[in-house]
Chain A
Amino acid sequence: MLDTLLPILIAASLALAVIGAWRRVRLWRQGRSAPVDLLKGLAAMPRRYLVDLHHVVARDKVMSNTHVATAGGFVAAAVLMVLVHGLGLAQGVLGWALLAASATMFAGSCFVARRRRNPPARLSKGPWMRLPKSLMAFSLSIFAITLPAVGLLPEDFGSWILALALCTVLVWGLGEMVFGMTWGGPMKHAFAGALHLAFHRRAERFSTKGGEGNRSTGLKALNLDDRDAPLGVETPSDFTWNQLLGFDACVQCGRCEAVCPAFAAGQPLNPKKLIQDMVVGMAGGSDAHYAGSPYPGKPVGEHEGSADGPIVAREGKALVDADTLWSCTTCRACVEECPMMIEHVDAIVDMRRFLTLEHGNTPNKGAEVLDNLIATDNPGGFDPGARMHWAADLELPLMRDLQQAEVLLWLGDGAYDMRNQRTLRSLVKVLRAADVDFAVLGDEERDSGDVARRLGDEATFQSLAKRNIATLSKYRFKRIVTCDPHSFHVLGNEYGELGGDYEVRHHSTFIAELYDAGRLHFKPWKGGSVTYHDPCYLGRYNGEFEAPRNVLRALGIEVAEMERSGFRSRCCGGGGGAPITDIPGKQRIPDMRMGDVRETGAELVAVGCPQCTAMLEGVVDASAEVRDIAELVADALIAAPASTGERSQTQEAQAAEVL
């Protein structure tokens, strides 16, 4: 009886899966078109899955092994099942292989079950709680059904009742694993995830045989020339189709939720919920079936949307509230942690673009800052002619006078900020001590456009960027050095698309190079213990984790690392215009970060970003002092040991006058 029933069951579930897949594909195709090389993507998919995705999953060793056993076992078992039971090729090794595969899958599913016994808050419950049982149902029933096929049990073992019971369990297993994969259910992540990896909108993120992928963190430019095109994303169908596909790939593991600073601060954002809301919107319906943590302070079940309905309503409620989108600090912690390589920040900025460019609804100080950027080229509304006032006594060489220099020192808007001016003065002292041939743009410099872009004002960003590129093209320099990681990121990663390709260095990288070249000499560190805070836009955005630590090491400082450091560093709360839109939460993000600092017992936290400095220094009752790396270096400068001669001694004398 099984011999006739099994092929029918398998064929039926496969046929239903194909229909489901077609329906799912139709949902994705509601999105806008996107240039994707389909065949190349499919060919690259196995490697992206086995190398890049696994690299992220493997940060949690137990879960990684569990997934390898379960998923590997399932894929093998499914293929062999079709061969053995569907086509009746049980002879020889195939049957035994199927036994092994289903056994492996069962072992994996036991670990899945174990994790589901006391699941951490970040995991979604609901249908996900039945997944280990479904995995077991599939693997066990396949295992049992295969036993007679390889001859371990007699063909007619047991009664027809046993066979029927086995078939029922198998139907459950097939239902979840094959039918559910394309019709929606926990296993959807496998189908959508595989295609998402193949058709990812940032193909350059992935490694190839030739080498590592790059971090690919620059936002993509919006075409502003087409006057009739709506700007940004208003409805779920305004996303590109591969973005929709990416949302559908979410496994609801909640790693993003666990690292999101806004979620931890009690601001109404949860990256996982946001992605699930996009899936709800794509298919149409309400978020009532969502079984994970809600946006803090916003109960589940009050929002609904459709593929062509607005995501954010002008008034009242739609799919997502605007304050959810404005809570994001664009720190990319979620993207860094996501095992499915979903691009949360891209999606959030896409939706912000619509709110700013079409609705004109940037909250709180957003509109004022954008108006300032338009009228004065800096977010504070200061006189562009006052940009160099902090350096009135330094006689900084101007590009306008020199026309060329080895290093162009990009000051950033910190030039107007009295705290950051101290950092800048220190940096100038360091550069002079190392005898670097540098010049500044002076009043010709404008805001890089970082804040405007992240507040969704692509028009102002492009206007600033194009004018900056025009200014930079007038002069000759080898590289740009800046102490602002936001400018660093924008100049280095986002100007390229608009025609400006530059070699940009963060000042910590540059100082490390100078030190390695023997051009800087430090006296030994006498202060207390020090920790280092990785700025998001330097670390996660640009992969620079080592240079600042190398500089600190050169100063004789042993860094007491915070629990969340390096690529897992927690945001200071200053990115993405978050201090400007200022969405209220239960606590402040910088307070949490200074809490991290306190845990290390450090008396001083070294930073490398004006935003981080401002945010962390704004913490009341902090246990540690906040100093920029440039300041620490400037304080430790000494003349070169006697052998290198008089020249650097005069340099030092000059440098002393600077501060």
Chain B
Amino acid sequence: MTVLVSVGRHPVTGRSRRADQDARGVELARTLPGAEIGLLHAGRLDEGNEAALRGYLGMGFDALTLIEQPESSDALPALAEALKAAPPQLVIAGERAEQGEGSGLLPYLLAERLGWPLVSGLAAVEEVSGGVATVLQALPRGQRRRLKVRLPAIVTVDAAAPAPRQSAFGPAQRGRLEVSEAPVAADVEMAEWQFKPARKRPKRLKIVKAASARDRFKAAAAKAEGGGGQVLTDVTAEQGAAAVYKLLKEEGVLR
């Protein structure tokens, strides 16, 4: 299996580091006994990035494959090529990068391009056997959903996945960064974007009118209020798709 790793950014100081979610992905991969794990990164190699990438090696790896790309390039084609050339059974990625675009779309675009299924927000991979992986998807409020997915597949990790182990300095320094070449595709769209520091979004106040501790607890533990939702069972794919289409129209997502 392959874990896609990126260069993270510390939320307070902005220093580059191993990205928290990607590190969780690595930890998730390490929980599978006997798995052959490869680390893959596409990006620029400089001093700051190298220290961050070595953070993953410090979790107990001899090598990391680095597809060298200039700064303003699209990592997608390079990653897709590399994965197509030597397809792993399972590709694990974080939910979104800690810097750069950080749209969280990369796993989806990759899955689309490779034609592989994608499962998001995993808490655990329980078993990989016979071309099928049994995975546990994290849902809100500690709920879990067990899914079986045909391999090869791409999965992303949730914050509920096991916390990454400490990165040890010795193995991190000794590990190799195996640089490989790949076609460079300039990210034309991003070049046209304007970047500015993000503004903190105002937080919606949650007003809990509770007289007792019990009420407050109930409010905190309550399920999200939906009410308007609809559970469709025993419908054909067309009927289901029509219902989803109708909802998206109503909500104004599709016009």
Contacts and interface: CB of A to CB of B under 8 A. Distances in A.
Contacts of B13: 375-377, 383-384
A360 B165 contact: yes
A642 B170 CA distance: 64
B166 A357 contact: no
Contacts of B10: 375-376
Interface string B53-68: 0000011100000000
A459 B60 CA distance: 17
Contacts of B58: 360
A449 to B, nearest CB: 14
Nearest to B171: A358
Given A375-B15, A376-B10, A376-B13, A360 B174 contact: no
Interface string A324-364: 00000000000000000000000000000000111111100
A548 to B, nearest CB: 36
A360 B166 contact: yes
A375 B12 CA distance: 8
Contact of B169 (A228, A375, A459): A459
B167 interface: yes
A383 B10 CA distance: 11
B41 interface: no
Given A375-B13, A384-B13, A361 B166 contact: yes
Interface string B163-205: 0011111110110000000000000000000000000000000
Contacts of A457: 169
B168 A359 contact: yes
Nearest to B15: A375
A619 interface: no
B17 interface: yes
Interface size class of B (residues with CB under 8 A): 10 to 19
B17 A357 contact: no
A228 B174 contact: yes
Given A357-B168, A360-B58, A360-B166, A227 B15 contact: no
A360 B173 contact: no
B15 A357 contact: no
Contact of B170 (A231, A371, A375, A460): A231
Interface residues of A, number: 28
A94 interface: no
A366 B167 CA distance: 12
A459 B54 CA distance: 14
A370 B173 contact: no
Contact of B173 (A227, A374, A458, A460): A227
Interface string B139-170: 00000000000000000000000000111111
Given A228-B174, A376-B10, A358 B168 contact: yes
Nearest to B17: A375
Interface in B12-64: 12-13, 15, 17, 58-60
Contact of B166 (A224, A227, A362, A382): A362
A370 B166 contact: yes
A366 B13 CA distance: 20
A230 interface: yes
A589 to B, nearest CB: 25
Q: In this complex, which of B10, B12, B171 has the most chain A Cβ atoms within 10 angstroms of its Cβ?
A: B12
Interface in A375-392: 375-377, 381-384
A362 B58 CA distance: 13
Nearest to A355: B168
Contacts of B165: 360, 367
Contacts of A381: 12
B169 to A, nearest CB: 4
Contact of A367 (B166, B170, B171): B166
Interface string A66-77: 000000000000
Interface string A220-246: 000010011011000000000000000
A227 B12 contact: no
A576 B10 CA distance: 27
A357 B194 CA distance: 42
Q: In this complex, which of A357, A360, A383 has the most chain B Cβ atoms within 10 angstroms of its Cβ?
A: A360
Given A358-B171, A375-B13, A384-B13, 5 more contacts: A357-B170, A358-B170, A360-B59, A367-B166, A383-B13
8 contacts: A227-B173, A357-B168, A357-B169, A357-B170, A358-B171, A359-B168, A370-B166, A457-B169
CB-based closest 5 A-B pairs: A360-B168, A367-B166, A360-B166, A375-B10, A358-B170
